[in-house]
Amino acid sequence: MDLSILNDVQRKAVEVVDGPILVVAGAGSGKTRVLTHRIANLIENHDIFPSGIMAITFTNKAANEMKTRIGSLIGPVTSQMWVGTFHSICVRILRRDADRIGYTSDFVIYDTQDQKALLKACYKELNIDDKQTPLKTSQFKISAAKNDMLTPELYDMQNASDYREKGFIKLYYLYQAKLKQNQAMDFDDLMLKTIELFKQNQDVLSYYQNKFKYIHVDEYQDTNRAQYTLIQYLAAKNRNLFVVGDADQSIYKWRGADIRNIREFEEDFPGAQIFKLEQNYRSKKNILDLANSVIVNNPNRRDKSLWTDQDSGEKIGYFRGYDEKDEAKFVIERIRTFIREKEYKLSDFAILYRTNAQSRSFEDQLMLNAMAYKVIGGLKFYERKEIKDLLAYMKLVVNPNDDVSFIRVINEPKRSIGGKTIEKIQAFQSKTELSLLESIPHLSQIEGIGAKAQKGLVEFYELIMGLKAKLDTAFVSQIYDELLEKLNIISLYELERSIEADARIDNIYEFKTVIEEFEKRSESPNLRDFLAETSLRSDQDNIEEQEDGVLLMTLHASKGLEFPVVFLVGLEDNLFPSFRAMDDPEELEEERRLCYVGITRAEERLFVTHARNRNQYGRFEPRHPSPFLREMDQSILENLSDQNEMPSFDPPKPKKENYFSKNALKSKQSFFGKASGTQGNTTPVASASQSATYFAGAKVNHKVFGMGLVISVGADGEMLTIAFDSCGIKKIHSGLAPIRRVD
């Protein structure tokens, strides 16, 4: 086998045979090449039997790629090796010896939906209200416990004195008992039960330790405690463990990844050899220099600096827009220019953002320009469940005959209305000319509908008809606010305490921004016109369906991918990094690693953008540049904004002058309060103690500009800087302007 295609460090790592080895593989440094050549070298040059080699990855795609590459190097030997994901490896072990821990070899594996069904049965038995404790919350909590190797017994021991955990502990015990009763395991059990098997049966553990003399692990920085423990067991005897990873790309703490596993590798395996892959084969030099200038600010990291023998390439494009629409226009116009002037196709462009809700402004611009696009790792904004649900409610308000919308949301959120109840209403409907909604007042004529379902149906009917009565007098935002209040949907998602639920909440707030933008530009901002415009906006018929399309995705979804041209957008305080990270050094470090990952996705061109103001959570608010922008090497940034010179990336002003701080963002729901409507949507009520004093954060009403928030007050106490909902930021003299404070 020819090793001449490897660079010096890669070859040295590949040629080491015995002992623990850590390959610190920087972005784009050829880690998969090293892994596959290492395995091929063991077999071809050191006569290691393929059956004695194990390689563990995180995805089936990565496992298949590894098999293909090894096969291309030394032929079809991977069928004798164990190459697979953590879960698939554990299934193979458990199929052989599950009887040693009380399971049959034909145990079933429960997927996400099976788990929910089982939890539902547990809820019923324990009389748990799923409105108070959503199934997803319990599912997430059980998974987190198992990833930390906490069985119900161990969890009970750790939390026995916490009365708030007693209900969950009972649920966890019952859930595990029912799994065992059904001879079933969920995905997390596969890892936990394999470790249990090894702990309780030394002979089984010895069998696998003797069988697999050489163990390889990809993306080691992403391992959680259970995965780490499994690897420790398997490698304990021979200590021939070869792991590849990069602490600078550890971005999955929220799903259990423990960066200490890679940071403390030498402590776990004394005498380990360390190889650092720093030569990058993906990106131009300026892109790598920018990445290095950011990640160097993380403390306690291995000294590693990416380099390339490619040329410097173009400078990194920097753009600061007036708001998120201006930012999106710049990005899409730049893409159009590249396509027109260079040999690029749409799929060569990637727009990377911190949160899914940010995609909306870019999607709007792409649709406006009839450019195809794809949202990777998520749905297009108007196709997301929470948005489609809210649109269905609004459609029903306008058109009570819309049976499709009725069926979509009659049990969203849960109202104890099942399929059989719907069938009975449909049977009644077939005898009349009424819609499903219009059939509800006639429930007395429909047999077999229980009292609980009847109550839910009546409440649903009253909600829709109550909003319909306001159709001709209320603004869209008023109807939307009341709908959210009656559904209590934000609180229900908050109870789930999951990343997915947080994203749904962000999307719901972003939809409020869509509504407010419609009201500002519309002469008649009513719900009928809004739905008509939204339907046209979300209709993709005018865009030819094809493989080619601009790629939109979160930074997390971009890991492992690469693109000729990357736009890293929304680099603002409290957005990226998120406000959750601002007071937590560990979270801030992970956000910085996420920024590093985003930068290193770019091959040829990179653009970093942000907005001076942003519509977020119902407020048009000024934004400060991200601290990551301040850390970037300014000498390789090219200003593409309207301003001639690069702006100063100074830190934000003290909090007393910055109302739009993390604390303001934390109370997202406040904009649904009665005093926070858009211009013309509510009638302001003057404070009982109207005074001439103003302060940062005070709500005000201007006779012309409408509602706004005071951002700062001049030294004289009279010159105010105000962010108005209708027209952005203005400076106004409080003694001369037609303005008053509002409670």
State yes or no: 28 annotated in a binding site: yes
Among the listed residues 518, 499, 501, 484, the one whose alpha carbon sits nearest the alpha carbon of residue 390: 484
State yes or no: 427 annotated in a binding site: no
State yes or no: 31 annotated in a binding site: yes
Q: How far apart are CA 127 and CA 347, in angstroms?
A: 51
User: Could you tell me if 229 and 149 are in contact, meaning their C-beta atoms sit under 8 angstroms apart?
Assistant: yes
Q: How far apart are CA 244 and CA 219, in angstroms?
A: 6
Q: Where are the beta strands (DSSP E) in 334-429?
A: 349-353, 373-375
State yes or no: 32 annotated in a binding site: yes
Q: Where are the beta strands (DSSP E) in 348-457?
A: 349-353, 373-375
Q: How far apart are CA 518 and CA 530, in angstroms?
A: 7
Instruction: Note if 219 is an active site residue.
Output: yes
State yes or no: 717 annotated in a binding site: no
Residue 563, helix vs strand vs coil:
strand
637 has which bridge partners? Answer: 316
Instruction: Note if 229 is an active site residue.
Output: no
Instruction: Note if 657 is an active site residue.
Output: no
Per-residue DSSP letter, 298: S
Instruction: Note if 249 is an active site residue.
Output: yes
State yes or no: 256 annotated in a binding site: no
Instruction: Note if 31 is an active site residue.
Output: yes
Instruction: Note if 601 is an active site residue.
Output: yes
Given the residues 249, 513, 609, 679, select the one marked as catalytic: 249
Quick count: other Cβ atoms within 10 Å of Cβ 522?
14
Given the residues 97, 130, 189, 218, select the one marked as catalytic: 218
Given the residues 97, 189, 219, 248, select the one marked as catalytic: 219
DSSP line for 595-635: HHHHHTTEEEEEEEEEESEEEETTEEEE-PBPHHHHHS-GG
Among the listed residues 101, 103, 67, the one whose alpha carbon sits nearest the alpha carbon of residue 82: 67
State yes or no: 27 annotated in a binding site: yes
Peptide bond into 627 cis (omega under 30): no
User: Could you tell me if 20 and 216 are in contact, meaning their C-beta atoms sit under 8 angstroms apart?
Assistant: no
Given the residues 301, 408, 601, 668, select the one marked as catalytic: 601
H or E, element range at 554: strand 550-554
State yes or no: 570 annotated in a binding site: no
From residue 68, give the alpha-carbon distance in Å to each of 36, 75, 81, 83. 9, 9, 13, 11
Annotated binding site: 25-32
Feature table: binding site for ATP: 25-32
Q: Which residues are known to be catalytic?
A: 31-32, 218-219, 249, 601
